[in-house]
Every structure is written in structure tokens, then in C-alpha cells.
Amino acid sequence: MSEVTPSPVRRANPGPIGLMGFGLTTVLLNLCNAGLEPLGSAVLAMGLFFGGLAQMIAGLLEYPSGNTFGMTAFVSYGAFWISLVGLIALPHTGIIPASSPGMMGSYLALWGLFSTVMFFGTLRLTPTHQIIFATLVILFFLLAFKEFTGSHTIGVIAGWEGLFCGFSAIYLASAEILEAQFGRSILPIGKAAP
């Protein structure tokens, strides 16, 4: 009597939803930083629900596959977006005053430090991952420097650099979605390091 071996369960990749949540929200905010649009409720809503909540869910879905890097990145940057919305919105409630530029600069610099650690993790991933995280490190430090100095020009430069970072994440998410749908690479992302 032969034994029937069940076929392995095929699981969806949560990476594209996390990357898209990060990328779209990063683009939307950096349209404001670049001076192309004013900050408004669209950025806060996107930050809370897609950049924040959806990314955190994607991170938690990375756990069963043992992807520590993906889990850490998506949960952490999801929490970043939720905390940023809080930093922007809470002062308008009268509950707590807005943070000083020095405190905001420190907040952004710490995220830059965290992103630097994550960038080193991408050295085992594709060049596209490396581009996303390298530009994210630069973005956080530019935004921190803008807060420390009050320089509008640095903020605009950060905005344009942030647009590149966000669109890089959208590109990688698109590549992963299309590869899953067609069963082969459609958009090149480079080869992961051995």
C-alpha cells in the first residue's frame, strides 16, 4: 500500500504588501518634503493605515517563514509610520505639545541609525534591497539634519531623495508581485548575495 504524501502548502509572500505600504507612503510624504504638495490628511491616513498597519501585518506574516529581516523591517517601519502620525496629530488635540526641532532631529537620527543596521542586513539580499535601504539611511539623516539646522533647502533635497527611495520600494514590490503571478522574473532586481 503506497503512502500519499501531502503537497506542501503554498504560502503567499507578504513582502510586496509591506514594500508597497512603505513605498507609497514614503512617496506621498516626500511630495510634501520636496515642496510639491502641502501636508494634509491624505498623508496621515496613508501613514496610519497602509504605511503603519498594513506594514505591521506584513511583518507579522513574515514570522512563520522565519524571515527575521522582513519581520523586523516591516513591523519596525510600520511602527515608525504610526508614531510619525502621532507626532504630527497629537499636538493638535491639545493633549501634548509638539516636539522641539532637536527632539524631532534625534527621533529621525535614531531611525537613521536603525536603518543603517538594516542596510547591512541587505548585503545578503538583492541590489534593489540595498538601494532601498541605502537611500532610506540617507533620507533619515537628511531629515534629521534639516530639523537640527532648520534648513528648508535640506528638507527639499530630502524630499526628492525620499521620492527615489519610495519609488525604489514600489519597484521591488511590483517585481515580486509580477514574479509570483507569472512564475518568472519580469522586472530585474539583481541577484542576492550567496
Residue 37 region, left (φ>0) first, then alpha (ψ -120 to 50), else beta?
A: beta
In a domain, 192, yes or no: no
Position 2 scores a pLDDT of: 60
- 190 domain residue, yes or no: no
pLDDT tens figures, 46-103: 999 999 999 999 999 999 999 999 999 999 999 999 999 999 999 999 889 999 999 9
Summarised one tens digit per residue, pLDDT across range 123-146 is: 999 999 999 999 999 999 999 999
Which pLDDT value is given to residue 128? 97
Average pLDDT score over residue span 37-47: 95
Query: Which tens digits make up the pLDDT trace of 111-126?
Result: 999 999 999 999 999 9
What is this structure's pTM? 0.92
User: Is 60 exceeded by the pLDDT of residue 10?
Assistant: yes
- Pairwise pLDDT comparison (177 vs 10), residue with the higher score: 177
What's the confidence (pLDDT) of residue 178? 96
In a domain, 5, yes or no: no
Range of the domain at 46: 15-179
Question: Which grid cell is 33?
Answer: 518634503
pLDDT tens column, 143-173: 999 999 999 999 999 999 999 999 999 999 9
Tell me the pLDDT tens digit for each residue of 16-31. 999 999 999 999 999 9
188, part of any domain: no
Return the percentage of the chain with pLDDT > 90, whole number: 90
Assess if residue 123 is contained within a domain: yes
Within the chain, residue ranges assigned H as helices are: 15-33, 41-46, 55-62, 68-89, 101-121, 127-149, 152-182
The answer to whether residue 146 is domain-embedded is yes
Residues 159 and 30 sit within 8 Å (Cβ to Cβ): yes
Q: What percent of the chain is predicted at pLDDT more than 70?
A: 96
Establish if 61 belongs to a structural domain.
yes
**Number of structural domains found in the chain:** 1
Residue 3 is assigned to a structural domain of this protein? no
Give a three-class secondary structure readout of 150-176.
CCHHHHHHHHHHHHHHHHHHHHHHHHH
